[in-house]
Structures are given as structure tokens and as C-alpha cells.
Amino acid sequence: MSDEADLHRVLAEWADRVREELDIAGAPLDLDRVLGVAGVAAHAVIRPAAPVTTYLAGYAAGLAAASGADPDAAAADALDRVRRLAGS
């Protein structure tokens, strides 16, 4: 197994544990997309922008979902908008 596969497995397991702890076990998570956006923020701005950016994208997606938007679509939209912002 490659280091990348090991990393992905560890992160997926950690995300499962966090979702369970936060009582959101069924929450959708596109791990690769989130990591991609975090990487873009870290390189386009500064490294500490990664967690701040992913938190804010998640918050925006949560608000949209709470207002009736499809959770998967809300998360994808938030992450896509941040990616465009960082690329500008």
C-alpha cells in the first residue's frame, strides 16, 4: 500500500470518528475535494489559510443545507466557490 493510500485511509478513519463524536455520522464528506481546497488555500494565500478556509466553506454549506439546499450540492458549491476565489 502506498503512503498516499495510507494517508487517505487514516484521514477517512479520523473523519468517521469526528463525525461520530459530533453526532453527524451520516454527514457527506468528499475528502479529496476538501483536501484539494485546503491545498489551494494553503498555497494561494498562506498555509494557515487551509483550516480557516475549510471551516468557513463548511459553515456556508451548513447554512445552505439548513435553508433547504441539498447538503452534497451545498458543500460542492461552497468548495467550488472558494477554489475560484483562490485561483483569482
pLDDT tens digits along 9-60: 999 999 999 999 999 998 889 999 899 999 999 999 999 999 999 999 999 9
* DSSP designation for 70: -
**Which burial class, exposed, middle or buried, applies to 40 when counting CB atoms under 10 A from its CB (0-12, 13-18, 19+)?**
buried
Chain-centroid distance of CA 26 in Å reads 15
* pLDDT given at position 88: 62
Q: Counting beta carbons within 10 angstroms of the beta carbon of residue 55, is it exposed (0 to 12), middle (13 to 18) or buried (19 or more)?
A: exposed
Q: What is the pLDDT of residue 71?
A: 87
The confidence score (pLDDT) of residue 1 equals 54
